[in-house]
Amino acid sequence: MTRSAILAVFLAFTVTNPAQMAFAETPQVPESRAEIQLSFSPIVKETSPSVVNIYASRVVEERLSPFADDPFFSQFFRSGPARQRVQRSLGSGVIVSGDGLVVSNYHVVGEASDIRVVLSDKREYKGEVILADKDADVAVLRLDGASDLPALPLADSDALEVGDLVLAIGNPFGVGQTVSSGIVSGLARSGSAIPGGAGSYIQTDAAINPGNSGGALVDMSGRLVGINTSILSRSGGSNGIGFAIPANLVREFTRQAEAGQTRFIHPWSGVSTQSVDDAVAEALGLDRPEGVVLSELHPQSSFATLGLTAGDVLLSLDDQPILSPSDLEYRLSILPVGASVKLSALRAGEPVELDLSLIAAPGSESIDRVEITSSGPLGGLVVADLTPALIDEYGLALMSEGVVLLDAQGPSARLGLRPGDRIVEVNGTEIRTTKDLQSVARQKIGMWLITFERGGRLLRMRVK
C-alpha cells in the first residue's frame, strides 16, 4: 500500500469516529464531591480525640565524678552527695479505655514522678503508671477521675500488609497535635539497627519525630494498629524510617492492666534461638530458609518438655510464621500465660504439629530474698539464688547459675555493684548459693577480692 493510500485510510477513520477523537482529547470531569475532595479528614476527626499529649518529669541525680558508679575507681574518687535536677520529657499517648486507660512508651513516662495528660479538647488529668515494661517500651497509665473518654479501638496488627495506608498522630517537638500520612513499609522489624533492638516492630514512612513517641499509628478504618516508638535517623528528625509497637502487644498490656496486674507477665520461652539463613538451611537439609533453629533449651522450658532439642527448627506459632528470634519472643508476649497454642516445628528433621503450653518463668511467684548482715564490706547486700524468672528479668545467659544481686544497702552500697550483677567468687571461694555468700561474708580479713559478672563480662575489684 502506498503512503497516500495509508493517509487516506487514517483520515477516513478519524472522520468516521469523532467520539473516539473527543474521548482522547477531553479530560474527564469529577462528578461528585468525593471525587473532588479526597481527604483523610474523616479518619482524623474520628481518631485524633483519642490521642493525648503527655508532659512528664522526674528527679534525677547527677554524679559530679565520672567514676562515681565504676566498681573499681569509685573507691578512689569520692564525689560526695549527688546533685539533683528535674528532667522533663514530652510525648504522646493513646486512650484505649473510656474509663481512663492510656498507653504510651516506657521511655516517656516509665520513671516519671509527675505526669500531666492533656486531651485534644484541653481537658487535663493527672496520670499514674499502673503497668510498665522497659524492654517492651510500653507503659499503661490511669487518668485520675477520668470517665467517658473517646477510646480508640484496636486492630489486629497481624492482619497488616506492607503497602497499607496509615496515619501517625502525635505531638512532635511540642508544636501541638499533628497528623502525618504514609504506608506500612515493613513488618516484624528487629535488629541492632533499630533503636531498642528487640521486639517485632511495624515500620512506616509516615513522619515520626521527637514528641510522637507514644502516639497512635492508625489504619484507614480508624483503628489503632501500633504505638509509635522510635525512628532511625542521623539528624534526630524524620528520615522516613519509623517504628511502632504492634497493637496486639498493646492489647495484652491493656488486658493485664485491667485485670490489676502491676507487672507485665509474659510466657517464658526458656530457649535460645538463631535465625535460619542459607548456610543454616543447607546444613539442616531445608529447601529454603525459614523459622528459627534452637541452640539452647532450659530443662524447665515448655519446648524441652515437648521433646525438642538443639538443632530442631521452630516454624510457626498460633499459625503465624516465626521470622526471627525476637519475633518468637513477640509471638509469645501477645499470648496469655496458661494458654495452649499450636506449634509447627521440624523435630529431628520431621515436620510435627505440637500443643505448646504457655508458662510463666519458674520463680515468678515469689523471690527468696536474703540480706547479708555481716559487718564487713558485703553487709547490706540483698541477693537471691538464680531462678528462670530472675534470669529473664535481668537478661542473663539462659543457663546461668549462682547468686544474683537484687539490691545494695549499708556498707555494700559503696561497692558500685548493681542489681542484676551475678556474684561469682569472693576471696577465692566460688559462690554457688546465697548460703555460700553468707558464710564468706563473715570472714575477718583486711583485703577483699570480689569477682562478679555484668553484661556477660567478668569483673574483679579489691576492697579494703
Bridge partners, residue 382, by sequence: 371, 407
Cα–Cα distance for residue pair 34/327, rounded to 1 Å: 41
- Helix and strand counts by DSSP (H, E) for the chain: 11, 25
Let me know if domain 370-463 sits in CATH 2.30.42.10. Answer: yes
Q: Is-same-fold flag (49-265; 370-463)?
A: no
**Contact assessment for residue 116 and residue 126, using Cβ atoms and an 8 Å cutoff:** yes
Phi, psi of 461 (to 5 degrees): -145, 150
Structurally, what CATH architecture does the domain formed by 49-265 represent? Beta Barrel (2.40)
How is the chain split into domains, by residue range? 49-265, 271-357, 370-463
Q: What is the pLDDT along the chain (464 residues), one digit of tens a residue?
A: 444 444 444 444 444 444 444 444 566 666 676 666 678 889 999 999 999 999 988 765 655 555 555 555 555 455 555 666 666 778 899 999 999 999 999 989 888 889 999 998 999 999 999 999 998 999 999 999 988 999 999 999 999 999 999 999 998 887 888 899 999 999 988 765 555 556 789 999 998 888 888 999 999 999 999 999 987 666 666 677 889 999 999 999 999 999 999 999 999 999 999 999 899 888 888 888 999 999 999 999 999 999 999 999 999 999 999 988 989 999 999 999 999 999 999 998 899 999 999 999 999 888 889 999 888 889 899 999 999 999 999 999 999 999 999 998 887 888 889 999 999 999 999 999 999 999 999 888 888 899 999 988 999 999 87
Q: Which three cell numbers stand for residue 430?
A: 566460688
Catalytic annotation, residues: 107, 137, 213
User: End-to-end alpha-carbon separation of the chain, Å?
Assistant: 109
The SS3 assignment for 308 reads: coil
Q: With contact defined as beta carbons under 8 Å apart, do 272 and 295 qualify?
A: yes
Measured from the Cβ of residue 145, the count of other Cβ atoms closer than 10 Å reads 7
Residue 293: what are its φ and ψ, rounded to 5°?
A: -100, 140
Region for 37 from its dihedrals, namely left if φ exceeds 0, alpha if ψ lies in -120 to 50, beta otherwise: beta
DSSP run (H or E) holding 390: helix 388-394
- The dihedral built from the CA positions of residue 230, 233, 236 and 238, taken in this order, carries a sign that is negative
Cα angle 19-24-27, degrees, rounded to a multiple of 5: 105
DSSP β-bridge partners for residue 408: 381
Q: Options 3.10.450.50, 2.30.42.10, 3.90.1150.10, 3.30.300.30; which CATH number does 271-357 get?
A: 2.30.42.10
Q: What is the CA radius of gyration of the chain?
A: 29
